[in-house]
Amino acid sequence: MSTTTRQTVDIIDAGTIAYKEAWDLQTRLHKELVENKRAGYPEPQRHYFLLCEHPPVFTLGKSGSEDHLRIDEEERASHQIEYYKINRGGDITFHGPGQLVGYPILDLDLIFTDVHKYVRSLEEVIIRVLQEYKITGSRSDRYTGVWIDDDQVKDESKKICAIGVHLSRWVTMHGFAFNINTDLTFFDHIIPCGIVDPNKSICSLSSLLGKDVNLQEVKRQVSTEFGAVFDLDVRFTPFASINPFTLKNV
């Protein structure tokens, strides 16, 4: 397959989905892309971008510390929060209702082979979406993700989007967690991303705007900017077409 061919990404809205189900689905799609690549691309390579919400869950990246989880198993159960150790980079974070989670499964061999550029491109997608709400997102020299600087306090900023990825044979997994209408009190139970800097905290789009935000509208904006930033044609694909519980995949 020529790398000069313009690629298409399937945007898939999975709605609210259990974390483990989404992880298993990512793993299956990742394997599909890798196997097609290893075989020399007998089929046109597909790229996927899953958008979803999760029931409350903490996830710990492979470089993270369990010391950054502040509640025990009994307390997690009382709050109905799941917990998984996973294979992405980064430390501990929270996923839950009102948060838009994006999982790109891309073959970067057909887009660009630069991990740093990939992470910065994910940040760029969110920064562009924030501009639609007249909010200036920024990057940190020390930490990944997208931040909102405090104009009144020097060096103080709040993270609105966390990023943690995994690549194997230049095929991506995991992605970003963009706080939209997220209940931020869940972050009190962890040291988010393992960052202990007192000048760093967490925010959401709704906390900045002072009102709830239409999540479906944000999904549309994220999809548009994702295609623009990665120079991909966007194709909206029903979740049922890749759902592992369907009898036949499209």
CB 203 within 8 A of CB 157: no
Residue type at 5 in one-letter notation: T
DSSP-derived letter for residue 184 is G
Angle at 182 between CA 164 and CA 82, to 5 degrees: 65
Q: What is the CA radius of gyration of the chain?
A: 18
**Phi, psi (degrees; rounded to nearest 5) at 178:** -105, 115
CB 125 within 8 A of CB 225: yes
Q: What token pair was written down for 183?
A: 């209940």
- Cα separation, 197 vs 34, in Å, equals 39
**Phi, psi (degrees; rounded to nearest 5) at 146:** -115, 135
Is 193 an active-site residue?
Answer: yes
Cα-Cα-Cα-Cα dihedral sign, residues 222, 223, 228, 229: positive
- Cα separation, 109 vs 132, in Å, equals 31
- Cα separation, 147 vs 136, in Å, equals 9
Catalytic residue among 52, 161, 193, 203: 193
| Active site residues per annotation | 193
